[in-house]
């Protein structure tokens, strides 16, 4: 297979050698202790470049490139002075996964009175897959129903499935949620996406309603990414955790369809998608059957069970080693795909998330150089985030240290190399007391916290911190802001928009020697100091009163 990029194969350090190096580094750090140790631009650059290199072939879980990348991270943890905290005395927590690939022989189409109106075999129109592990999935003449946003939310008094039975049918729905469409702060959370706006929820709820197939209509603004991100992310090998029912509880077919294609499809049946979209944002919306439209599919796939791995190391605390501060980042990306246009087939994932992985390794090394704090600090690089936060979900189900003894956590995901900023962004602003600790660090530096500037994109539900937040553990997801120290806010905003449009989930997300890493180093140092201070304190940060996770944490601490 020819790829345009030339891989520079650098031999990975032998694991046993790295353990020895790591032990000596940790022992030395504990003895000497350099309180000024901070993030190194050279080290961060070296780690990002290596993780994003062609050697690791896009770091897809359970592939040779993914295994090599996770070994590299383990070697770096050992060299930084961490002790292994995985299974059998290693840095690894094996994560059981299923891997499936839809074969090119698969077909999906939608007909109107027998005439084809959607050819799903072209990724220009639609992408489709299944979470079921059968090698062949067949759906025949499943009637379409437009179910608005596909939301059943009793706490908001909202049910798009009210009054209609969708068992055996194909439900078609809009992305995001009604609050985004109306900007009404009294509707859901207004412009800020709730979990109901996420595609993960929509597929799960449709299955609970008994739908045979599910299609989400893509629009760039409410999705927060273009169609090329959808087609790039949902083709090729797809991963999931090993489910006891082998995916039988999911709909037979899941997929996305472009807005233009959906508009044309509904028009053939005499329905106006724009009007239905407007109606769907009003409380009391009723689903719209489209019995003339029928979906048929024959899906062939290769299915296998495989193993990826989270990578975890710990810096043991001096006086309270059974209390833990957590740093987390996902190491995986999208791997390689022959389905993308052009010669470059490798999704290197330099920003997403070689940056975050490099950052937690740098925090680990700097902390070890400072000397062990009172509490322990655990560093976890998780797998399969791009496949639905699977590695962090697995860790949440099988934590390597008790969640009740986890003081709080920092998640680092996709830090853009915008340069130094006057601000730091908190995704899901207003959630936990960890934000107060961050503010304290920023004030020392004459900086300030800003909320996520695009809450409608639902980033709070799109990274690994949410897997532990849903279990009650206070988590902070923060990244460099947009207000560049010399070029101003507009520069940072345009930088972010350019990355999302041109590089996010594309082969062009590559490391560049010309990157200005000063902002990534700045943010890494801030999060380093925040976590180190927390590890030397007796504080137990909680979720703010009134947040959905506060009760879970309160109950957890009672049982501690």
pLDDT of 288 > 90? The answer is yes
The candidate with the shortest Cα–Cα distance to 126, out of 142, 108, 143, 111, is 108
Domain shared by 336 and 216, yes or no: no
pLDDT value of position 559: 78
Alpha carbon separation from 363 to 80, 369, 370, 427, 517 (Å, rounded): 9, 10, 10, 20, 15
pLDDT value of position 31: 45
Domain shared by 34 and 105, yes or no: no
The first and second tokens of residue 363, run together, are 């925090």
pLDDT value of position 28: 40
Domain shared by 171 and 247, yes or no: yes
Question: For the segment 149-182, what is each residue's pLDDT rounded down to a tens digit?
Answer: 999 999 899 999 999 999 999 999 999 999 998 9
Contact 107, 260 (CB under 8 A): no
Q: Which of 303, 330, 355 is the last residue of a domain?
A: 303
Q: To 5 degrees, how large is the angle CA 49–CA 55–CA 57? A: 100
Contact 441, 530 (CB under 8 A): yes
pLDDT value of position 32: 54
Backbone phi, psi, residue 371, to 5°: 110, 145
Q: Give the pTM.
A: 0.83
pLDDT value of position 20: 34
Indicate whether 418 belongs to any domain.
Answer: yes
pLDDT value of position 1: 34
pLDDT of 292 > 80? The answer is yes
Q: The CATH number of the domain where 137 resides is what?
A: 3.50.30.30
Contact 129, 255 (CB under 8 A): yes
Domain shared by 48 and 167, yes or no: no
Domain shared by 284 and 369, yes or no: no
| Lowest-confidence region among 295-309, 355-369, 501-515, 545-559 | 545-559
**Whole-angstrom Cα distance, residue 413 to residue 359?**
9
Contact 535, 53 (CB under 8 A): no
Domain range holding 120?
100-303
Question: For the segment 52-89, what is each residue's pLDDT rounded down to a tens digit?
Answer: 999 999 999 989 999 999 999 999 999 999 999 999 99
Domain shared by 179 and 216, yes or no: yes
Mean pLDDT over residues 37-53, rounded? Answer: 95
pLDDT value of position 9: 33
pLDDT value of position 337: 85
CB burial string 282-310: b at 16+ within 10 A, e below: eeebebbbbebbbbbbebbbeeeebebbb
Q: What is the mean pLDDT of the chain?
A: 91
Contact 260, 362 (CB under 8 A): no
Domain shared by 296 and 335, yes or no: no
Domain shared by 271 and 396, yes or no: no
Q: Which of 303, 324, 355 is the last residue of a domain?
A: 303
Q: Residues in the chain, how many?
A: 560
pLDDT of 537 > 90? The answer is yes
pLDDT of 13 > 50? The answer is no
Q: The CATH number of the domain where 507 resides is what?
A: 3.40.630.10
Residue 86's contacts (CB-CB under 8 Å, 6 or more residues apart) are 92, 93, 309, 310, 311, 312, 400
Indicate whether 75 belongs to any domain.
Answer: yes
pLDDT value of position 232: 83
Domain shared by 434 and 525, yes or no: yes
Indicate whether 260 belongs to any domain.
Answer: yes
pLDDT of 102 > 90? The answer is yes
The first and second tokens of residue 129, run together, are 């897959």
Domain shared by 479 and 532, yes or no: yes
Question: For the segment 360-413, what is each residue's pLDDT rounded down to a tens digit?
Answer: 999 999 999 999 999 999 999 999 999 889 999 999 999 999 999 999 999 999
Placement of tokens 């087939």 in the chain: 345
pLDDT of 14 > 50? The answer is no
Domain shared by 162 and 279, yes or no: yes
Domain shared by 353 and 421, yes or no: yes
The first and second tokens of residue 221, run together, are 């603004």
- The number of distinct structural domains making up the chain is 2
The candidate with the shortest Cα–Cα distance to 327, out of 24, 27, 12, 39, is 39
pLDDT value of position 162: 97
Indicate whether 146 belongs to any domain.
Answer: yes
Question: For the segment 168-218, what is each residue's pLDDT rounded down to a tens digit?
Answer: 999 999 999 999 989 898 899 888 888 899 998 999 999 999 999 999 999
pLDDT value of position 8: 31
**Whole-angstrom Cα distance, residue 461 to residue 226?**
18
**Whole-angstrom Cα distance, residue 433 to residue 438?**
9
pLDDT value of position 355: 98
Indicate whether 520 belongs to any domain.
Answer: yes
Q: Report the SS3 class of residue 496.
A: helix
């Amino acid at each position: 297979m020819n790829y345009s990029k030339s891989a520079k194969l650098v031999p990975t350090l032998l694991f046993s050698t790295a353990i020895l190096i790591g032990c000596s580094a940790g022992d030395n750090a504990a003895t000497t202790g350099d309180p000024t140790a901070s993030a190194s631009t050279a080290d961060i650059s070296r780690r990002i470049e290596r993780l994003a290199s062609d050697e690791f072939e896009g770091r897809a879980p359970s592939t040779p490139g993914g295994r090599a990348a996770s070994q590299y991270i383990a070697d770096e943890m050992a060299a930084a002075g961490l002790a292994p905290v995985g299974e059998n005395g290693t840095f690894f927590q094996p994560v059981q996964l299923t891997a499936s690939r839809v074969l090119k022989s698969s077909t999906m189409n939608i007909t109107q009175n027998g005439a084809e109106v959607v050819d799903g075999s072209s990724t220009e129109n639609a992408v489709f897959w299944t979470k079921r592990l059968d090698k062949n999935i067949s759906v025949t003449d499943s009637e379409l129903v437009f179910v608005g946003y596909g939301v059943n939310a009793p706490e908001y008094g909202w049910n798009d499935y009210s009054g209609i039975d969708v068992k055996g049918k194909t439900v078609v729905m809009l992305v995001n949620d009604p609050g985004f469409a109306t900007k009404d702060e009294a509707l859901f959370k207004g412009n800020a996406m709730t979990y109901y706006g996420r595609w993960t929820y929509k597929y799960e709820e449709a299955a609970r309603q008994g739908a045979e197939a599910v299609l989400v209509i893509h629009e760039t603004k409410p999705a927060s990414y273009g169609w090329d991100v959808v087609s790039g992310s949902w083709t090729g090998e797809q991963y999931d955790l090993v489910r006891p029912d082998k995916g039988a509880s999911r709909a037979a077919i899941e997929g996305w369809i472009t807005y233009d294609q959906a508009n044309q499809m509904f028009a053939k049946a005499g329905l106006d998608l724009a009007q239905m979209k407007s109606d769907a944002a009003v409380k009391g919306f009723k689903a719209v059957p489209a019995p003339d439209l029928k979906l048929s599919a024959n899906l062939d796939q290769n299915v296998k069970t495989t193993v990826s791995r989270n990578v975890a190391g710990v810096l043991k605390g001096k006086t309270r080693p059974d209390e833990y501060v957590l740093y987390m980042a996902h190491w995986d990306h999208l791997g390689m795909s022959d389905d993308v246009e052009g010669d470059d087939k490798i999704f290197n994932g330099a920003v997403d998330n070689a940056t975050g992985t490099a950052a937690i390794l740098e925090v680990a090394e700097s902390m070890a150089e400072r000397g062990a704090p009172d509490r322990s600090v655990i560093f976890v690089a998780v797998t399969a985030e791009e496949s639905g936060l699977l590695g962090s979900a697995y860790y949440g189900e099988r934590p390597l240290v008790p969640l009740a003894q986890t003081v709080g956590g920092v998640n680092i995901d996709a830090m853009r190399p915008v340069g130094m900023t006057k601000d730091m962004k908190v995704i899901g602003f207003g959630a936990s007391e960890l934000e107060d600790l961050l503010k304290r660090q920023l004030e020392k530096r004459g900086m300030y916290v800003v909320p996520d500037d695009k809450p409608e994109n639902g980033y709070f539900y799109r990274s690994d911190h949410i897997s532990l937040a849903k279990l009650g553990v206070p988590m902070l997801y923060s990244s460099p802001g947009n207000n560049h120290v010399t070029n101003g806010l507009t520069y940072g905003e345009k930088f972010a928009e350019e990355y999302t449009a041109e590089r996010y989930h594309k082969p062009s997300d590559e490391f560049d020697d010309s990157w200005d890493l000063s902002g990534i180093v700045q943010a890494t140092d801030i999060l380093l100091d925040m976590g180190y201070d927390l590890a030397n304190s007796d504080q137990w940060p909680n979720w703010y009163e009134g947040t959905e996770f506060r009760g879970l944490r309160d109950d957890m601490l009672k049982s501690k």
